[in-house]
Structure 1
Amino acid sequence: MNRTLAAAVLVTVAVAGCGAGSAVNDYGTVVKGAKGQTTQVEVGQGDRFSLAVSDNPSVGDSWSLVEVPDAKVASFISEEHESDGEAPGSGGTGYFVFNAKRPGTTEVKLFNCWRCGAEKTPTAPDSVKDSGTAIFTITVK
């Protein structure tokens, strides 16, 4: 195999491994949560895990990490999104990916500012009513 062909193969493999613009290809243990709920998460030291929430930006969902967890217990890696379909308006799932560091407990809050736009604060009555926080209590064993 000549060098040019080998380089082309390596580039193709590298691009194919990225997968739909995802920063990570391993979500680890996935734990689902929702607005208005507190979800308990128990993981082992060194484990990768993801906090998952139903997400549909086309109807106004805008999830964000309110504050990072205690970095000694868990470190934030990335935010990812996977659509449930190809059609416009298809919902999906938002994933907030973390690594478990040391034993301990910390809390992660994800906020869905529904139809807030650039303000990131609900102001309209329907936005206030449909916005909310999903809380995850993370325990690393």
Structure 2
Amino acid sequence: MIRRTAAAAMLALLVAGCGGGSAVSDLGTVVKGAKGSTVRAELRPGQRFSLAVADNPSVGDNWDLVAVPDPKVASFISEEHESKGEGVGAGRTTYFVFNSKRPGTTEIRLRNCWRCGQSTTPPNEESRQQSGEAVFSVTVH
């Protein structure tokens, strides 16, 4: 009877920990970047980390991972979003979550294609001017 109760309690804790609408509850070390910037990140092997960018889809922001990093140095886990408020146009933060792997250096590029919709190419001059990349130089020691 005690074993069943303990097993049920552990199962309830596991299920409760998976809530919140997010695939990943641990963002690890958060490294903030922005359009037009290059940021360095120094990590240990096996360390979870997230690359964070301010985002506002209601005005046309759309961040995506340009290319996966060197898989020997870091592996992509997921893309997560955290809202900054309840109101329309409040904005959010987008997190690209990774695990560091072996020692080495890799570059991770995130692209904001402003008002591009489903396209990966800016549709007009204004979109080209507002679009840009955030670059992260990741070193695992």
TM-score, structure 2 as length reference: 0.89
Could you give the per-residue CA deviations for residues 44-87 of structure 1, whole angstroms, max 9, x where no partner exists? Answer: 11100000000111111100000000000000000000000111
Aligned to 1:140: 140
1:64 aligns with 2:64: yes
Q: What amino acid maps onto 1:97 in structure 2?
A: V
Aligned to 2:106: 106
Could you tell which deviates more after superposition, 119-128 or 27-36? 119-128
Aligned counterparts, 1:42-81, within 5 A = 42-81=42-81
Q: What is the alpha-carbon root mean square deviation over aligned residues?
A: 2.0
Q: Aligned partners of 1:119 and 1:105: how far apart in 2?
A: 30
Q: What amino acid maps onto 1:87 in structure 2?
A: G
Aligned to 1:119: 119
Q: Aligned partners of 1:120 and 1:19: how far apart in 2?
A: 32
Aligned to 2:40: 40
Could you give the per-residue CA deviations for residues 104-123 of structure 1, whole angstroms, max 9, x where no partner exists? Answer: 00000000000001112102
Aligned counterparts, 1:12-23, within 5 A = 14=15, 16-23=16-23
Cα pair distance change 1:88/1:17, threshold 3 Å: farther
Q: Aligned partners of 1:10 and 1:46: how far apart in 2?
A: 27
Q: Aligned partners of 1:36 and 1:85: how far apart in 2?
A: 25
The gaps in structure 2 that reach 5 residues or longer are none
Q: Aligned partners of 2:63 and 2:110: how far apart in 1?
A: 6
Q: What amino acid maps onto 2:106 in structure 1?
A: T
**Structure 2 residue matching 1:118: 3-state secondary structure:** coil
Cα pair distance change 1:75/1:13, threshold 3 Å: closer
TM-score, structure 1 as length reference: 0.89
Could you give the per-residue CA deviations for residues 89-138 of structure 1, whole angstroms, max 9, x where no partner exists? Answer: 21110000000000000000000000001112102111111000000000
Q: What amino acid maps onto 1:127 in structure 2?
A: S
The gaps in structure 1 that reach 5 residues or longer are none
Q: Aligned partners of 2:104 and 2:124: how far apart in 1?
A: 39
Q: Aligned partners of 1:13 and 1:105: how far apart in 2?
A: 35
What percent identity do the matched residue pairs reach? Answer: 66
